[in-house]
């Protein structure tokens, strides 16, 4: 069963008298439980594609459906709920709240939905990610790899249908980047659906399925 359906998706940016087709008539689907990479040179449209799927940017034309919900035609309230409940987003620059502890950053999506924290589930996720002894630390007290683990825990706390990861290893040294990539592979083995944007060919090749973008189009 497909959790993501992308059909004829395009995003056109206007720059003066010119138009740039950042994403150009892209069509593909992702089955539940898949690990799919999107790779390509800088400027090929990878991150724009991910932002369209995640409802962060608005499509010029085409459609995106996640778990039966039409992303392109949802209003702001529906999009906010979709991003909290159906999509886990992991950013290259972590996007942690600096004045909150690790624990507070992780549970923030639950608080935004006025949900009670399931302590057993919280400790299972943070334990899996190796954060048990960092829960009272602030982001400034963490390494880059630890910050990304916190970001992944935050993305998983609401048990989303899909994890969207935008260059999650981009700000890490090679050793930490390898750790995060292995973690994504392990999460996928646990049944988590993941769409990974990366410029690192070796990470893209670790994924069972690889999509390649060039000039806004899928070429494979």
Q: Is the pLDDT of residue 213 over 80?
A: yes
- Please give the sequence-ordered ranges of beta strands (E in DSSP) within 60-166, or none if there are none: 61-66, 69-70, 87-90, 162-166
- Please give the sequence-ordered ranges of beta strands (E in DSSP) within 81-192, or none if there are none: 87-90, 162-166
| 124, two tokens | 């299972």
pLDDT of residue 145: 93
Q: Is the pLDDT of residue 203 over 80?
A: yes
Q: Is the pLDDT of residue 75 over 90?
A: no
pLDDT, the chain, mean: 93
Q: Are 7 and 13 in contact (CB under 8 A)?
A: no
Give per-residue pLDDT as tens, 120-163.
Answer: 999 999 999 999 999 999 999 999 999 999 999 999 999 999 99
Give per-residue pLDDT as tens, 100-122.
Answer: 999 999 999 999 888 999 999 99
| 178, two tokens | 């390898």
pLDDT of residue 143: 93
The rounded radius of gyration (Å) of the Cα atoms in the chain is 17
220 or 28: whose pLDDT is higher? 28
Q: What domains are defined for the chain?
A: 2-218 (3.40.50.300)
The whole-number average pLDDT for the span 87-101 is: 93
pLDDT of residue 150: 96
pLDDT of residue 113: 85
């Amino acid at each position: 069963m497909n959790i993501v359906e992308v059909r004829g998706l395009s995003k056109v940016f206007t720059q003066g008298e010119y138009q740039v087709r950042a994403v150009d008539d892209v069509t593909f689907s992702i089955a539940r439980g898949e690990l799919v990479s999107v790779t390509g040179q800088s400027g090929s449209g990878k991150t724009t594609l991910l932002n369209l799927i995640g409802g962060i940017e608005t499509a010029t034309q085409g459609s995106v459906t996640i778990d039966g919900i039409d992303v392109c035609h949802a209003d702001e309230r529906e999009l906010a709920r979709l991003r909290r409940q159906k999509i886990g987003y992991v950013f290259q620059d972590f996007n942690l709240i600096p004045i909150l502890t690790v624990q507070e950053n992780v549970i923030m999506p639950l608080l935004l939905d006025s949900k009670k924290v399931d302590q057993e589930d919280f400790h299972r996720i943070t334990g899996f990610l190796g954060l048990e002894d960092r829960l009272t630390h602030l982001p400034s007290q963490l390494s880059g790899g630890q910050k990304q683990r916190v970001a992944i825990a935050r993305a998983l706390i609401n048990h989303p249908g899909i994890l969207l990861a935008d260059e999650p290893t981009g700000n890490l040294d090679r050793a930490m980047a390898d750790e995060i990539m292995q973690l994504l592979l392990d999460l996928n083995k646990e049944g988590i659906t993941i769409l990974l944007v990366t410029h690192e060919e070796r990470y893209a090749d670790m994924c069972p399925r690889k999509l390649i973008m060039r000039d806004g189009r899928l070429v494979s």
